Amino acid sequence: MFCFQCQETFKNSGCVNRGVCGKTSDVANLQDFLIWISKGLAEIEVKSERNNKEVVDRIILNLFTTITNANFDFSQIKDRIFETIDMMNSLRENKNYSEAANWSSKNFSEIEKKINSGEVSILSEENEDIRSLKELITYGLKGMAAYARHAKVLGYESEKVNNFILTTMAELLREKSIDELVSLTLETGSMGYLAMETLDSANTKTYGNPEISKVNIGVRKNPGILVSGHDLKDFEMLLDQAKDSGVDIYTHSEMLPANYYPKFKKYENFVGNYGNAWWKQRDEFEAFNGPILMTTNCIVPPKDSYKDKLFTTGAAGYPGCKYIEADEKGHKDFSEIIELAKTCKAPEEIEKGSILGGFAHSQVMELADKVIEAVKNGDITKFIVMAGCDGRMADREYYTEFAKKLPESTVILTAGCAKYRYNKLNLGDINGIPRVLDAGQCNDSYSLIQIALALVDAFGVESVNNLPIVYNIAWYEQKAVIVLLALLSLGVKNIHLGPSLPAFLSPNVTDVLVEKFNIAGITNVEDDIKNLII
């Protein structure tokens, strides 16, 4: 195996024997194969005259399945490979195709032989700059696919995004120059922005605009179900099915923003948020006592103490944990989880009190006058975008320290699970405007962009780069990659990215990003505050 798609990759170089995330080498190899034939399937579709919706849905699911910490289940990935091959075999025409598009065998030893040849591995591309750009684009597509799928289950999709995913997957099988790949990278960012916009419409039109919310982080006395991941539709179905069951529902990690949507607030059995970012789940899931539903990543290999209570659905999967399948209409039956919950103890209280959130674009626009006035009179001197992901490495403590040491005239704009590094610090407010404004999930970075664009208008400046906004973004997996590419495609400069720059960026590709966008890493809290803020 060789995988370097996430921030925690081994020695910031690449996981080779087993993933730091827990992914085994046989699963990693199958994922590489799945991506390779998904590119082949895309080529078959692009070369046809059809517009087969099932093809793009399949490719989106395959991409999503290979995101960091989403699916560790060998047999599920094997099934997806077989289903993809079946689809290719039924759609192939009498045309000239690449080897990936021509792959037709479901004989597993032949698949293994192909994997063992190294020809579908990331490292099969020998030119490290081409490899770097192709992987950067592929990871951007993975993040985009996740967002596209969340929108799709709510009945929203963008033809442009779908077509881009198809054509780009097919293009990645071809030889490309560095220049072509650099422009494809930026196009990937623009399409990522569109995918986030589509998901924002899907979420807000279905569940209402997020509003300022005080979220309970304590517990009640009933047994509960904990829902993690990003899929709001799964959350809604579970909430609805559990409403009269006597079982309470809690969010975990990236599901926290469900607490900000008006439609979910109406459920009396919806208690609040339990715990913190994804990487603390091994302790928190144990203390929760009840079943847990993972609707997407990030899964950490579970402890035996709760493994039989961990359920997965959608693109997520873990061997030995029950997977909940959707029927043809997308409906999922969560009764088994609800029944199991009834037999469990109530959650152990690990925290008390509340946290504040719900500052997505529509809510912030309502506060716009107040915000603009505070900037004009100097009460707010800077906004710091600290969106992105959290992770388990100790050096992420940087973000807590950074937030603590920021001048009191600054406001943090956040989205994604990065917020757990500072959302319980009680950083106070400026004229009633909280100093940490949480827009929601990582895809709600879209809201942060909307807020920046509104400020461009309000202050009559030329671009987002002339605003008092600095970017100190934490990344972990491929959804953060698409958010980053979206920002770059909008011309945002001077982004600081940490805790380390991606291992998949070759020195030359890093130079291009530095030259075009002045991207930089982070150093230490004191120096970064001095250089970025003061």
Binding site for ligand SF4 (CB under 6 A): 3-6, 8-9, 15, 19-21, 23, 28, 68
Between 21 and 184, name the residue whose CB sits nearer to ligand SF4.
Answer: 21
363 touches ligand FSO (CB under 6 A): no
Return the residue of 153, 232, 298, 455 that touches ligand FSO, per CB under 6 A.
Answer: 298
Residue 98 CA to residue 394 CA, distance in Å, equals 45
- Helix, strand, coil share (%) of the chain residues, nearest 5: 50, 15, 35
476 makes contact, choosing from ligand FSO, ligand SF4, none, with CB < 5 to 8 Å by partner type, with: ligand FSO
Indicate which of ligand SF4, ligand FSO, none lies near residue 227 (CB less than 5 to 8 Å, by partner kind). none
Question: Nearest-5° angle of CA 485, CA 488, CA 8?
Answer: 45
Candidate list 290, 416, 434, 440; residue touching ligand FSO; CB under 6 A = 416
For ligand FSO, give the closer residue by CB, 151 or 166. Answer: 151
Residue pair 313/323 in contact (Cβ under 8 Å)? The answer is yes
CB atoms within 10 A of CB 144: 31
For the segment 204-243, give every residue that binds ligand FSO (CB under 6 A): 230
User: What is the four-CA torsion angle of 334, 337, 338, 344, rounded to 10 degrees?
Assistant: -170
- 9/213 with CB nearer ligand SF4: 9
The CA-atom distances, in angstroms, between 52 and each of 42, 141, 146, 163, 347 are 11, 19, 19, 11, 46
Tokens at 375, concatenated: 């900037």
Grouping H, G, I as helix, E, B as strand and the rest as coil, residue 419 is helix
Among 73-81, 109-117, 191-199, 477-485, which window interacts with ligand FSO (CB under 6 A)?
477-485
DSSP H/E element including 413: strand 410-414
Min separation Cβ 373 and ligand FSO, Å: 32
State the residue number with the nearest CB to ligand SF4.
19
Identify which range of 267-275, 359-367, 428-436, 472-480 contacts ligand FSO by CB under 6 A.
472-480
- The two tokens of residue 150 are 């969340």
Give the nearest distance from C-beta 134 to ligand SF4 in angstroms. Answer: 16
Nearest distance in Å: CB 365, ligand SF4? 37
Decide: 498 and 474 in contact? Cβ < 8 Å.
yes
Minimum distance from CB of 70 to ligand SF4 (Å)? Answer: 9
Residues in binding contact with ligand FSO, number by CB under 6 A? 15
From the list ligand SF4, ligand FSO, none, pick the one residue 19 interacts with, judged by a Cβ distance below 5 to 8 Å according to partner type: ligand SF4
248 vs 390, beta carbon nearer ligand SF4: 390
CA dist., res. 473 & res. 481, Å (int)? 11
d(CA 195, CA 98): 28
Question: In angstroms, what is the minimal distance from the CB of 95 to ligand FSO?
Answer: 38
Choosing from 215, 299, 389, 413, the residue that interacts with ligand FSO (CB under 6 A) is 389
442 binds ligand FSO (CB under 6 A): yes
Are 90 and 50 in contact, with CB atoms under 8 Å apart?
no
Q: Which of 56, 53, 68, 61 is nearest to 19 (CA)?
A: 68
Write out the residues near ligand FSO by the rule CB under 6 A: 230, 253-254, 278, 297-298, 389, 416-417, 441-442, 476-477, 479-480
